[in-house]
Amino acid sequence: MIPLTNLPNTVSIREVGPRDGLQNEDRMLTTAQKIALINALNDTGIKQIEVGSFVHPRFVPQMADTAEVFAQIERRPGVIYSAIAPNLKGAQRAIAARADAVQVFLSTSESHNQSNVKMSIADSLSAAADIAHTLKESAISFEAVLSVVFGCPFEGDVPLERVLLIIERLLAMGAEQITLGDTTGMAHPRLVQAIILGIRERFPQVPLRLHPHSARGAGLANVLAALEVGVDRFDASLGGIGGCPFAPGAPGNICTEDAVHMLHEMGIDTGLNLPKLVECARRVEELLGHEVPGQVIKAGICGHIPNGEPRPWRAAAKALYAS
Ligand code: ZN
């Protein structure tokens, strides 16, 4: 087999910066700033934006205004504006806010689930069943996000069998997508492939999305590993901001513009306008008042002058490859 030839031609990126990114930042953006950021993201061609979460504001005060954000963002046709919710009450608030998709979130380890959503996995699964039932009546997509699939900061390795049991229950409830979260950046490429292949062996048709974190620098390597086993959906965050406030050492979603840059250079289409994404990442940096971990924002787009136009030598090089 020739390496790196059997990869998906297109990849879908869900921007999770407004939720996973901002919830881990000390500086709280105003509602108007969040709305302006999401409206700017609309111009990048992004098709999925995680707008916020419906959790108790005492636990995640950064997300307390998610309903107001939903009410005031400009909604482009064909774009899915989603929310996450840990329980029925949160899902009902998401429905009232007219979220296009609701993701229930739970962990694959008891300790992280207790820390994150203050309940057992069994209770989270029964909440998921209630959410699924309610969403069916509202014709809103029901999806699931699993945390710490590739390792738990409290318990270490997570048995694949437990991940499979949870996925089995969620699929039986009608989950349209399962997102595998590397919440604290404990994954590595071989583990990513082993878990994805293990899940596919049991559930060949399951629509999987990877939610990588770059806490230990393996984020984009894990994306490549997942691409090799056919995953074509990824979560990423502008500038690489984000993390999990309830997991020690969790900072850093993979950076959207870095991931898109790598994919585009590899000839994999994302449908996204990279210079516009970089503009959005700069806006995030300004709003947060600190440098973001992303690399492209510092190094620039390969072969492009700062306004995003390709350099002539770049076009010539591409033509050479094509011939
Ligand atoms: Zn995350």
Model confidence pLDDT, tens digit, residues 265-314: 998 999 999 999 999 999 999 999 988 999 999 998 887 655 556 555 55
Higher pLDDT, 246 or 92: 92
Spacing, Cα 5 to ligand 1 middle (Å): 29
Q: Ligand 1 centroid vs 253 CA: distance in angstroms?
A: 6
Cβ neighbors of 151 (< 8 A, separation 6 or more) are 157, 158, 182, 184, 186, 187, 191
**Number of helices (H), then strands (E), in the chain:** 12, 8
What percent of the chain stands above pLDDT 90?
81
Section 90-112 average pLDDT = 97
In angstroms, what is the span from residue 303 Cα to ligand 1's centroid?
A: 31
pLDDT in the model for residue 26:
83
Which CATH number describes the domain made up of 4-322? 3.20.20.70
Work out the average pLDDT over 107-120. Answer: 94
Q: Sort 26 into a burial class: Cβ within 10 Å, 0-12 / 13-18 / 19+.
A: exposed
Output the CA angle 195-151-268, nearest 5 degrees.
50
Q: Which amino acid is at 210?
A: L
CA 14/CA 6 separation, integer angstroms: 23
Q: What mean pLDDT, rounded, does the chain reach?
A: 92
Catalytic residues, by residue number, are 244
Q: Cα of 23 to ligand 1 centre, how many Å?
A: 10
Residues with CB under 5 A from ligand 1 (ion): 20
pLDDT tens-digit series, residues 192-218:
999 999 999 999 999 999 999 998 999
pLDDT computed for residue 268 by the predictor: 93
Question: Quick one: pLDDT at residue 323?
Answer: 45
SS3 of residue 224 by DSSP: helix
